[in-house]
Every structure is written in structure tokens, then in C-alpha cells.
């Protein structure tokens, strides 16, 4: 996952911060990939890789705005200068621990159903079962994720299939992320976030909570605090990037999932995936605009 990246200066800084926070991330990255599946490990690992890859891109890129999906929003904040890399790592280590401590609930992806229909089946499932279930991720048209108690998610999944969803995919997660079941985790995590130094982002960060750009430290802190219990409005985020003038969308991360989603959200907008240091070094600013 981090081949050739851990020796970069930003990675060394972030690995040291993780170690200070009680997480030997270097040992995990050098060990069994199975360990990386745990939420409390996966989140800091993703942050490290995304920030390290971003550091390989040319400073001559004309970046009009940045965004990140869920924990990726912290990498976006680093890219925008709103969080120092080491501070972001300390915050995300605690975010992962807080979320991992909430073992109740699950998530499922709904394919072939629109946002209004998904919200309706969640509401009907809640009334039917008395359990919590909400739309947690608006990933792309026809690709949504629901989150809640197991009974609530099961009921909503059944109703979705009855009403025309093409497929339901249970997700291998440890909790009901981006739902009200994360309230206790959000309260615990808020103490760490409030203690962190946050600066005004430049360029703006397009935030998951509402899909709109923020330009002040106070606004960004507020959105990050709300993010654990609020849905990830990724469709709105991608549309906002284009509205702000982005002519090419550059995904920085270990795989090309978000590039695929973007092609469905804003067809015709070019996308580039940077998943290695070599790919970052090869990216010519003259080949991408916006």
C-alpha cells in the first residue's frame, strides 16, 4: 500500500506523529495486509498514503479546490494547508480509535436506486422496526450506502429490493459509520479535533457534510466535527469541484475508486488517478488544467 512512500519527508513526519500517538504504523505497513482492514489502522494508513502521494505532485498544478471522501477529507485539509501533516495524523489516529470503539450496527451498498427512493426505504424501515437506518454515502447516481443497526439495515435492504434496487451488497465494516450511531464516537473525537490547530484552507476544501466549499478554519472545523454522524454527500462534492472551475479531477490515493465515481457524476470531465510516487512524478501540469 505504501511502496516507495514511507521514505518521503512528509511520510517520516507522519509516521513519527503516529508513533507518538501509540500507533506503530510503519510496522503495520510492513506487515500483514489483514491488519490494515481494522478501522483504527486503515484510517491513519490511508491518510499517510494520500498525503505522501500528494507531496509527489508538482507545485505548479493550478488547484482550484480539494475534497476527500470520509477520512480523505483530512488529506484534503493537509493539501489545503489547513492542517499540518503531523497534526492531521494525530487527529485521524484518534478518529479511527473513536469510530472503532462503536461496534454496533453495519452498512450496505444499494445499487440501482436513487437518493429519494433510498431515503424513503430507510424511513419506512425505521417505522417498521423502530431501528435506526439512514443513507450514509451518496457515492454516485445509483450507488448509495445505508448505515444503521443490523435490523434496520436488513429491513431497508429488503424494502429496496422489493422496490426495484438492482443489488444490495453488505459491507465488511465494524460499525454504522456516518449515522446517528456514531454520536458517542463524535463526542469523544471532538475533544481531539478542538485541540488541533486548524488554519484557513487555501484552496478551499469542499466538505462531505454539505458538498460546499469552505474557506475558513472555523467552518472547516465545524464540518469535520459533524462528519462522523452526517452522510458523505460525494455527488455534491464532485459537482462543486467542477462548478468551482476544475477542468480535470485528480484522484490521489491507493486505488482509482473515486475516479470511477466521478466519471458517473460528471461525465465528460477528465479524471487522472495517481496511485504511486512514480505516477505523481510523471504528472505534467501542462497536461491538466484547473
Beta strands in 52-118 (DSSP E): 66-67, 106-111
Q: Which long-range contacts (CB under 8 A, 24 or more apart) does 73-76 make?
A: 73/205, 73/207, 73/208, 73/224, 73/227, 74/47, 74/224, 75/46, 75/47, 75/50, 75/51, 75/252, 76/205, 76/206
Phi-psi region of 245 (alpha: psi -120 to 50; beta: other; left: phi over 0): left
CB of 17 within 8 A of CB of 196? no
Instruction: Give, in order, the Cα–Cα distances in Å from 199 to each of 58, 61, 214.
Output: 23, 21, 12
Residues tagged active-site: 70, 178
Give CA–CA dist 86/197, Å, rounded: 11
Strand pairing class (133-140; 249-252): unpaired
Give CA–CA dist 59/139, Å, rounded: 29
Nearest Cα neighbor of 75 from 269, 252, 238 is 252
Q: Which three cell numbers stand for residue 8?
A: 518521503
Residue 136: its H or E element: strand 133-140
Amino acid at each position: 500500500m505504501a511502496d516507495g512512500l514511507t521514505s518521503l519527508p512528509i511520510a517520516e513526519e507522519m509516521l513519527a506523529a503516529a508513533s507518538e500517538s501509540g500507533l506503530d504504523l510503519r510496522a503495520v505497513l510492513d506487515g500483514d495486509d489483514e491488519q490494515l482492514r481494522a478501522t483504527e489502522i486503515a484510517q491513519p494508513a490511508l491518510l499517510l498514503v494520500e498525503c505522501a502521494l500528494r507531496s509527489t505532485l508538482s507545485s505548479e498544478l493550478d488547484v482550484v479546490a480539494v475534497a476527500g471522501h470520509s477520512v480523505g477529507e483530512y488529506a484534503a485539509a493537509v493539501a489545503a494547508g489547513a492542517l499540518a501533516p503531523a497534526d492531521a495524523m494525530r487527529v485521524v489516529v484518534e478518529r479511527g480509535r473513536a469510530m472503532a470503539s462503536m461496534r454496533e450496527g453495519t452498512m450496505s451498498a444499494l445499487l440501482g436506486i436513487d437518493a429519494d427512493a433510498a431515503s424513503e426505504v430507510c424511513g419506512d424501515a425505521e417505522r417498521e422496526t423502530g431501528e435506526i437506518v439512514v443513507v450514509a454515502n451518496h457515492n454516485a447516481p445509483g450507488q448509495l450506502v445505508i448505515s444503521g443497526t443490523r435490523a434496520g439495515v436488513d429491513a431497508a435492504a429488503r424494502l429496496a429490493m422489493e422496490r426495484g434496487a438492482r443489488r444490495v451488497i453488505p459491507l465488511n465494516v465494524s460499525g454504522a459509520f456516518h449515522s446517528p450511531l456514531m454520536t458517542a464516537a463524535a463526542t469523544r473525537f471532538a475533544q481531539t479535533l478542538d485541540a488541533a490547530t486548524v488554519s484557513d484552507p487555501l484552496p478551499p476544501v469542499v466538505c462531505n457534510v454539505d458538498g460546499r466549499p469552505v474557506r475558513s478554519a472555523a467552518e472547516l472545523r465545524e464540518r469535520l466535527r459533524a462528519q462522523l454522524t452526517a452522510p458523505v454527500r460525494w455527488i455534491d462534492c464532485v459537482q462543486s469541484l467542477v462548478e468551482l472551475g476544475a477542468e480535470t479531477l485528480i484522484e490521489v490515493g491507493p486505488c482509482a475508486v473515486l475516479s470511477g465515481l466521478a466519471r458517473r457524476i460528471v461525465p465528460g470531465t477528465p479524471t487522472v488517478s495517481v496511485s504511486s510516487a512514480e505516477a505523481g512524478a510523471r504528472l505534467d501540469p501542462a497536461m491538466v488544467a484547473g
